[in-house]
Amino acid sequence: MAETLTITDNRTGKQYEVPIHDGTIKATDLRQIKVTPDEFGMMTYDPAFMNTAACKSRITYIDGDKGVLLYRGYPIEQLAEQSDFLETAYLILFGELPSAKHYDEWKRNVMLHTMLHTNLSKLMEGFRHDAHPMGMFISTVGALSTFYPDAKDIFSAESRRLQTLRLIAKVPSIAAYCFRHSIGRPFNLPDNDLSYVGNFLNLLFRMTEPRFTVNPVLERALDVLFILHADHEQNCSTSTMRAIGSSHADPYSALAGAAAALYGPLHGGANEAVLRMLNEIGSKNNVPAFIKRVKAGEGRLMGFGHRVYKSYDPRAKIIKRMADLVFDVTGKNPLLDMALELERIALEDEYFVSRKLYPNVDFYSGLIYQAMGFPVDMFPVLFAIPRTAGWIAQWDEMLNDADQKIVRPRQIYIGSGPRDYVPKEKRR
Ligand code: CMC
């Protein structure tokens, strides 16, 4: 028997049977509930989409209570252990792990597009020397739409495939240019014989040597961090990508919007905020006083808490383990002890325990990035590179979903009723 929800409207005494699919009712099925026929009908009020599924998706699964994260069914722990970012990106984008032949083709095709148009690099030179790299990243990704007007052809699968290759290939180049610009060094050219991450390190850090030597431990660590950040279902930036894409804007414009949503300190800017917080706390001795201030509502413990995870974020567990391998190469980040102390105290404290606040992906990632030589304001950019794979996959899924239309939430109007315009001289 089909599952239904029976609703009784006490205003009219009428009963309604609303079908249940996947533990969900359709919000538009509530519209039949009305007192008079000319009414709009019942709506749901759900600021911040706390309890609203906006799409059906086959890409990423999260069980927030159990701390489970799957990309296309594969556990994040197995991917972090055995896969690499380009393979994981392929999985997220196309639904299956590639065969060896398809992997090689994919890698070759991505690496073919790593170069940036000279005019794009000239545009980047126009930023102030102290421009925030994320601001540069957002603007430059948006500017890509002017270089590839063919991207407007969003209903052509071939065009979408080409823009996908361009975006996956060019975001590390743009990110590296942001970094080089901020330190006043010339832009490096890609070395496509290196791995995707190896080439990114080359774009970032090569100086005068003819060939950049990649440290394999740091290369692998960054690759794993990229895998962990590749997708996370309907978060703020992904929802933005889908929302902008739903108006049929080109993918570069939509991705610039998604990156802008990521920039905020409650989302991808949290890794940057964690480092600033640790610097502000200053020493392990100040941790209890800081925790006290957080509990009194004077600021948040950045890198803690999550809308979906109500247990330890599985990505944070992997990053914490990996930190030791990186610190063996780079030397320990002096902020690590303070972070461990914060975690220890918070995980024992009633305030954090009762609210199920655990370290999230951003709590430890910044410590690794900093040890690898990245300035703090590059952290959100490092988040945006791998998340590009997730954003494009979600955008593509949205465009191919017959249920989707232009995003257009409703509101409950609580403003003034109709009133007559008052000329300036008669206003009080
Ligand atoms: N420090 C202190 N208290 C917190 C924190 C925190 N980091 N996070 C949530 N709370 C408290 C909050 O004050 C509220 O308490 P009360 O019920 O007494 O008012 C309760 O916990 C529930 O918080 P909420 O704000 O209703 O939860 P939310 O689901 O709206 O917010 C969050 C989720 C991630 C925005 C929030 O936990 C937060 O601001 N964390 C710090 C920023 C951060 O680390 N963001 C990165 C998220 S993971 C990476 C990503 O996906 O971008």
Q: What is the pLDDT of residues 26-57, one digit of tens each?
A: 999 999 999 999 999 999 999 999 999 999 99
Q: How far apart are CA 389 and CA 377, in angstroms?
A: 22
Please name the residues in contact with 257: beta carbons below 8 A apart, sequence gap of 6 or more. Answer: 240, 241, 243, 244
pLDDT confidence of residue 328? 94
- DSSP annotation string for 246-298: TTT--HHHHHHHHHHHHHSTTTTTHHHHHHHHHHHH-SGGGHHHHHHHHHTTS
Largest CA distance in the chain: 81
Please answer whether residues 378 and 179 qualify as being in contact, where contact means their C-beta atoms are separated by less than 8 angstroms: yes
Q: How far apart are CA 83 and CA 106, in angstroms?
A: 15
pLDDT confidence of residue 1? 79
CA of 237, closest atom in ligand 1: 52
Burial of 68 (0-12, 13-18, 19+ CB in 10 A): middle
Residues of the chain with pLDDT under 50: none
Look up residue 248 and give its two tokens.
């049929």
Look up residue 72 and give its two tokens.
């296309």
105 φψ region: left (φ > 0), alpha (ψ -120 to 50), beta (else): alpha
pLDDT confidence of residue 267? 93
Q: How far apart are CA 125 and CA 189, in angstroms?
A: 15
pLDDT confidence of residue 377? 93
Q: How far apart are CA 380 and CA 374, in angstroms?
A: 11
CA of 355, closest atom in ligand 1: 21
CA 103 / ligand 1 centre spacing (Å):
39
- Ligand 1 proximal residues by C-beta, below 6 Å: 232, 235, 266-268, 270, 294, 300-307, 355, 357, 360-362
CA of 304, closest atom in ligand 1: 7
pLDDT confidence of residue 134? 97
Residues with a catalytic annotation lie at: 267, 306, 362
pLDDT confidence of residue 70? 98
Give residue for tokens 């490092």: 382
CA 164 / ligand 1 centre spacing (Å):
33
Give residue for tokens 């480092």: 275
CA 261 / ligand 1 centre spacing (Å):
16
